[in-house]
Structure 1
Amino acid sequence: MLHHLILENITRHISLDQEEINSFVCHLKQKKVTKKEVILKGGQACKYINFVHSGILRAYYLDKEGKQSTIMFALTDWWITDMFCFINNQPAMLTIEAVEESIIFQLSKDDLDSLYIKIPKFERFFRIIFQNAYIREQLRTIQNLSLTAEERYNIFLNKYPQVAKQVTQKQIASYLGITPEFLSTIRGGKNKK
């Protein structure tokens, strides 16, 4: 079944009957994206929250000098969007691109609002998803303030080993807030131990 993974993701937090499943699935837009394809560009309207069915997506902020700062990676079975802009109908601050060929399901803000009314259980589901995202980002901010770059890199490797194998050193460095050269030095030190 094409929607099995997204439905498994949802049923971790809420139970749906067949009619509710059918109603939910009809709102999903499936999209196949190629490696490096941008699904949201900074400045565009942020219309969708995306579920990664397969592949990896990356969200990054692009500053005025063209420097990319990776905000998050989204693996298979994860949700990703520019949350502030999606919720508040604002132009995107982030760019989201595929790190590798991926299949995603997109749910529009209008359809999500409709689901909240038609199937109120979805408010609970997305509240949990948004809470978990907030907690993850708060912990990451504290780690960035309190841990060394090497400690943050080790946490990244332990927490996301598959991402570390599939993204570039430059993207990892951008996520950690360090230069690729400094990351290379850290990795060189690890290899000597």
Structure 2
Amino acid sequence: MGFDLILQNITKYIPLDRTEADFFVSLLQSKTLKKRDYLLRQGDICKTENFIIKGCFRVYSIDENGVEHIVMFGIESWWISDLYSFLTQAPADYFIEALEDSEILQITRENLERLYEKVPKFERFFRIILQNAFITQQNRIKQNLSSSAEERYLYFIERYPQMAQRVSQKQVAAYLGITPVFLSMLRRKLVKKGNFIKLV
């Protein structure tokens, strides 16, 4: 498994010389998952931060009524984990499931601390990643509180067109917080309004 993609991701934010890059990749572990394999199960401890080389994932929980709630998807060049569990070593609140055959690179908490000590600039990189994740989460909360289901759906397919093509409509509905039946009705309504070209 090559490391070009992850190094490209990192060097968008911090410069690395060859020694620093080599040390970083020496701390990574590669993992392959088949479609429907779990990277993490609710109640387990999240032991790694994970960078997606190939594939698609969903992060979700199941409520007391057995309803799935998808909090995020992840595709190539994204980092994915249950961050709270990873940082606190508390049981995970979420499942992380591969939606396609996937390949990831992982770093453990122990190796991340070694990385911070040896190459302190990585603290800046992961701070930026955390800040971006926080901003995305805040924007999603704002949307859920103030936008209609139609507005949320149009935002999703415009913001993440590649993702919208790779996940099922049932999963999109679970992400938007609506039923699959309602999403189907919404899509038909948008087609009638002439928004078919936007729908994937």
- Per the normalisation by structure 1, the TM-score is 0.97
| Deviation beyond 6 Å, 4+ runs, structure 1 | none
Gaps of 5+ in 2: 194-200
Residue identity in the other structure for 1:136: T
Per-residue deviation, 1:66: 2.2
Per-residue deviation, 1:55: 1.1
Per-residue deviation, 1:112: 0.8
The farther-off stretch of 121-130 and 29-38 is 29-38
Cα-to-partner distance string for 1:57-85 (whole Å, 9 max, x where unaligned)? 11001222322100000110000110111
Q: Distance in 1 between matches of 2:66 and 2:26?
A: 39
Per-residue deviation, 1:56: 0.8
Per-residue deviation, 1:29: 0.8
What SS does the aligned partner of 1:187 have?
helix
Per-residue deviation, 1:16: 1.1
Matched, 1:88 2:88: yes
Q: Distance in 2 between matches of 1:109 and 1:42?
A: 19
Cα-to-partner distance string for 1:129-167 (whole Å, 9 max, x where unaligned)? 000000000000000000000000000000111111111
- Per the normalisation by structure 2, the TM-score is 0.94
Query: What does residue 42 of structure 1 align with?
Result: 42
Report how many aligned residue pairs link the two structures: 193
Per-residue deviation, 1:192: 1.5
Query: What does residue 196 of structure 2 align with?
Result: none
Q: Distance in 2 between matches of 1:48 and 1:85?
A: 10
* CA RMSD, 1 decimal: 1.0
The farther-off stretch of 62-71 and 73-82 is 62-71
Cα-to-partner distance string for 1:83-131 (whole Å, 9 max, x where unaligned)? 1111111111110011111111111111111111111011000000000
Gaps of 5+ in 1: none
Q: Distance in 1 between matches of 2:108 and 2:95?
A: 17
